Amino acid sequence: MVSMPLLFAELPEPFRGAFDPEAPWALLGEPLDAALAEIAEPPRSISLFEGVFFRGDRIAIGEGTEIYPGVVIEEPVWIGAGVEIRTGAFLRKDSWIGDGAVVGANTEVKRSILLPRAKAPHLAYVGDSILGSGVNLGAGTILSNFRHDGGEIVIPTPEGQRIRTGRRKLGAVLGDNVATGCNSVLHPGVVLGRDSMTYPGVMLRSGIYPARSVVKLRQQIQVLERR
């Protein structure tokens, strides 16, 4: 049996009963579809800035959410209360954004779950991923979700096993309070335990990483006289 790291202290109701600790990415399948299927054509009681573009009507938006000009949202998407979606963000269909989350300027979110208070605030790509509560993605973070050969995402484990996920598209599963440094790139199939962090510029390969990990990048810099 593979030992997964601690990830989430608590999950919101649409996902709580469906969570499989041995395959946390499974939330991106039927559980996410079921949560989004509940969206009909909800009335929107919030005021919107001009220049927000909705593609379709099945977009739920909670009270106190702010959506700035230049945002594009495709149905179906569920957005909780007190969310901030900044200029230029692109929320593609089949995404679930929890209460108090932030989707930043020019950030793209594709079929992902952002748990409450997760933040992707600057120039990020979040593809087929789960961000735990309190996650913060440094500017330019990429959660890559697709192999060049189009093959199934297979995750190597510390025990030397390989987990077949059954998914051709899978980004990262980040536990609560994970922080990535600026310009981090996480390869498809990263599971990073809660309270972990990556240094700026890290390229993290597919795998399972324990809770409270610090992933460092070591580089040697030479300063030469200009001629």
How do strand 172-174 and strand 130-131 relate by DSSP bridges?
A: parallel
Among 92, 93, 122, 212, the one annotated catalytic: 122
* 122 catalytically annotated: yes
Phi-psi region of 57 (alpha: psi -120 to 50; beta: other; left: phi over 0): alpha
Please, are residues 108 and 92 in contact by the beta-carbon 8 Å criterion?
yes
Query: Edge-to-edge strand order for the sheet containing 197-198?
Result: 66-67, 84-85, 102-105, 119-122, 136-137, 179-180, 197-198, 214-215
User: How many CA atoms within 13 Å lie on the side-chain side of 219?
Assistant: 8
Two tokens, residue 218: 């070591």
Please, are residues 162 and 178 in contact by the beta-carbon 8 Å criterion?
no
> Hey, what amino acid is at 94?
D
Instruction: Specify the length of the chain in residues.
Output: 227
* Catalytic sites, residue numbers: 122
